[in-house]
């Protein structure tokens, strides 16, 4: 069967990473910027490996320059999500790309994105919430003003704080000041770890930054005692199988650790990460899992419930989304 229409809850999507290449090409055209080097002839994004992906990603972000650009971006990304049955999306937002982490600039960008989120909810039926992320390879000092942006704008829309970027730069504890500031402000926490780093990176992230969710976390599979601890502590993994397979962070679909993690009692969820960069959609994620592991609607219903339980939004929003899921 096709899972396109099946309702889905997604917790791990980088807003700029969801930008359709045609959208970025159009902005580049409007701003008379030559970005041809980051596109293949067929129009898709071109890069060699994960580090080069981050470079291409930042080049694509260079044409996102105003609050209006981000308003359009939110609508373009949510259109893709809604088309793939997503009813609730938690999306990583990076003030570094919205005025360089300046708080008053960030407020203007955020206002535009929130307006677009309201429009997407009204017109497309997808509810969006934001998680502010600092960027690891920009260093711990740059993470502090980003945490301040998060602390100062938390509310119904901005619900969490996290860290993306190059996982092998520095150690988790280098970023504890930013995470402590966000935690003290009352934000919920998630952090990328265990996509490229080993189980030690996941363990250090849990010890030093104490997030309740981990972005990816799949390399925990190489230390079963750690897997059992993650399961016992109820840490939720935002697993992105299509991204892992595409980038070679794990083996192919049939060997992907999500199955074993789930079977050992870990709370796993499924997301796309940066869908047009990795040739995926939420439909393709569900279909890949169905093919690789014979997962059925019962399995996907459980993944959705786990994701909604682990979502950072308020209870009224969760109740509304739960009703949409129950209707299937
Ligand atoms: N991983 C880490 N950092 C990122 C990503 C990603 O997939 N996308 C944007 N920043
Ligand atoms: Zn990610």
**Ligand 1 pocket: which of 17, 94, 131, 195 to mutate (most atoms <8 Å of CB)?**
17
| pTM (predicted TM-score) | 0.98
Span 79-119, pLDDT tens digits: 999 999 999 999 999 999 999 999 999 999 999 999 999 99
272: which 2 tokens?
A: 């796309």
222: which 2 tokens?
A: 């190489």
In this structure, what is the dihedral angle of CA atoms 53, 87, 72, 16, given to the nearest 10 degrees? -10
Residue 1: its pLDDT value, please? 67
Beta strands in the chain (DSSP E): 8-14, 86-93, 127-135, 158-164, 188-193, 213-216, 236-239, 267-270
∠ CA 78-84-88 to the nearest 5 degrees? Answer: 55
Calculate mean pLDDT across residues 294-317. 98
- Architecture of the domain defined by 8-313: Alpha-Beta Barrel (3.20)
Calculate mean pLDDT across residues 146-162. 98
Q: What residue segments make up the domains of the chain, in order of their start? A: 8-313
Count of beta carbons in the 10 Å neighbourhood of residue 35 = 18
CA of 292 from ligand 2 middle (Å) equals: 22
Closest by CA to 9, choosing from 326, 288, 257, 227, is 326
Give the number of the ligand closest to the Cα of residue 277.
1
Position 143 pLDDT exceeds 80: yes
Q: Mark whether 195 is an active-site residue.
A: yes
**Ligand 1 pocket: which of 165, 194, 238 to mutate (most atoms <8 Å of CB)?**
165
């Amino acid at each position: 069967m096709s899972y396109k229409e099946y309702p889905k809850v997604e917790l791990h999507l980088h807003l700029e990473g969801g930008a359709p290449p045609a959208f970025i090409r159009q902005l580049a055209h409007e701003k008379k910027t030559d970005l041809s080097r980051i596109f293949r002839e067929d129009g898709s994004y071109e890069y060699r490996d994960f580090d080069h992906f981050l470079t291409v990603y930042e080049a694509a972000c260079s044409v996102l320059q105003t609050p209006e650009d981000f308003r359009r971006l939110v609508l373009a990304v949510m259109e893709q999500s809604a088309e793939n049955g997503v009813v609730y999306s938690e999306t990583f937002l990076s003030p570094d790309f919205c005025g360089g982490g300046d708080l008053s600039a960030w407020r203007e960008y955020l206002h535009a994105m929130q307006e677009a989120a309201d429009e997407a909810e009204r017109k497309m039926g997808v509810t969006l919430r934001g998680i502010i992320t600092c960027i690891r390879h920009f260093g711990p000092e740059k993470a502090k003003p980003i945490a301040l942006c998060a602390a100062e704008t938390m509310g119904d829309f901005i619900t969490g704080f996290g860290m993306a970027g190059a996982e092998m730069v520095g150690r988790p504890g280098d970023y504890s000041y930013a995470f402590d500031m966000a935690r003290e402000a009352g934000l919920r926490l998630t952090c990328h770890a265990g996509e490229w780093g080993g189980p030690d990176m996941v363990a250090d992230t849990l010890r030093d930054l104490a997030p309740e969710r981990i972005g990816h976390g799949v390399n925990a599979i190489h230390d079963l005692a750690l897997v059992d601890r993650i399961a016992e502590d109820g840490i939720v993994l935002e697993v992105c199988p299509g991204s892992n397979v595409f980038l070679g962070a794990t083996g192919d679909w049939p060997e992907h650790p999500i199955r074993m993690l789930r079977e050992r009692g870990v709370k796993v969820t499924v997301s796309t990460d940066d869908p047009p960069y990795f040739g995926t959609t939420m439909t393709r994620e569900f279909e890949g899992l169905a093919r690789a592991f014979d997962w059925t609607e019962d399995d996907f219903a459980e993944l959705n419930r786990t994701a909604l339980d682990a979502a950072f939004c308020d209870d009224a929003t969760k109740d509304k989304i739960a009703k949409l899921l129950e209707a299937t």
